[in-house]
Structure 1
Amino acid sequence: MRTRTATATAAAVLSALVFTGCSSTDDGAGDNAAAKSTPRASQSGPTDEQIAQAREAAGLPPTPQAADWNAYIKALDALDPDIVHGKEDKAVSRGIDACSTYKRYPDDAAQQVKATRARFTSPTHPEGRDAATATKILDTAHKYICPDF
């Protein structure tokens, strides 16, 4: 439940940043040349720094770089190919969520494993994973996605 709350908080912060960045007081009578010279990316949403701050406030690590992403997926596949089951984005997202649980409960391994068991479902494991597998998944996420947590 707290993961959902943290995710919802991060989404709300990001949405607020997007809508704040999109608001305008220009009545349309301004200089079109100035508008054209402004980079579009700066008008389309929050900056990378704002996103990083929102993720940090929500207890979420940044999205892993390509090398860590690939190593994480490879490690999960080595545990059991059904963990990823062809959905890398989903596996990484769940790993990021596992990191938030790790950060939220740094001294409560039982809570970390419980949340990871329930989080990593698949078509052949709709109820989640056993404790031993969840522990290995959590260790893998910690190693490749949030080593600083």
Structure 2
Amino acid sequence: MRTRLLAATLTALAAVSLAACSSSGSSSGKATAAAGSPTTVAATPSDASTSSAAATPATSAPSTSATADGTTAAPGATAAPAGSSPGADGSAPAKPAPPADAGLPAKPDSDLTGKVVAALNAIDPAIVGGKPDQVVEQARKQCQSMYQFPKDKAKLIELANQHFTSPDHPQGFGPDTAAKINDALRTTLCPSPR
């Protein structure tokens, strides 16, 4: 008697656990209703024969699982989270956010650093201002901006004026020079936009 009661209780707990993990609203309600009767019956020891009979539907419940669209999956398959499958609510699944360093090129070697510095010096020597390491870091940040805003020329000019400043040009070098800086970086340091 106790063995049957214990088996019915464990089966009911397993069914309740599966119902709690289910992500589909309609299938979790069915599983909870099916699992609810063995739990209630198993709580009363005088109805041990009823608990073993009620445990039979709950034992077969774990063999299949409901999917997000309400169909039944094969035994052993797990149900997909609601909204994760394309078309579940008529929209595409959410696109994961890009990493924080997306578009940031690796630190250039000495040859590439020389090319970047030479290209910027050709535009205006004040851009480099005798600080090649600093200007290369600013160029890398501008490359990341080019990756993030590949088609927004006005934004890229604004960001170039923020990244490239000097004591004589605290607000940047102006829109024409900023556009030239962007062009120079595209041909030297920055990877092609996506």
- Cα deviations by residue, 1:101-136 (Å, 9 ceiling, x for unpaired): 100001111111111012110011011111010011
Match of 2:157 among 86, 90, 113: 113
Between structure 1 and structure 2, the one with the greater Rg is 2
Gaps of 5+ in 1: 1-55
Q: TM-score, normalised by structure 1?
A: 0.59
- Alignment pair present for 1:69 and 2:81: no
Contact in 2 for aligned 1:63/1:145 (Cα 8 Å): no
Aligned residue pairs, count = 94
Is the Cα contact below 8 Å between 1:64 and 1:144 reproduced in 2?
no
Residue 58 (structure 1) aligned to one of 101, 105, 112: 101
| Letter of the 1:81 counterpart | P
CA contact (8 A) 1:113 1:134 kept: yes
What RMSD, in angstroms, separates the aligned Cα atoms of the two structures? 1.4
Which amino acid in the other structure matches residue 105 of structure 2?
A: P
User: Structure 1 runs of 4+ off > 6 angstroms?
Assistant: none
The equivalent position to 1:100 in structure 2, one of 144, 154, 179, is: 144
Q: What amino acid maps onto 2:129 in structure 1? A: H
1:86 alignment partner in structure 2: 130
> 1 or 2 for the larger relative contact order (CA 8 Å, sep ≥6)?
1
Looking at structure 2, the residues matched to 129 and 123 of structure 1 have their Cα atoms a distance apart, in angstroms, of: 11
Deviations 1:30-87 (A, max 9, x none): xxxxxxxxxxxxxxxxxxxxxxxxxx75121111222221011011111111000000
Amino acid at match of 2:101: A
Q: Percent identity?
A: 35
Q: Which moved more, 1:64-73 or 1:130-139?
A: 64-73
Corresponding residue number in structure 1 for 2:15: none
Identify the residue that residue 11 of structure 1 maps to in structure 2. Answer: none
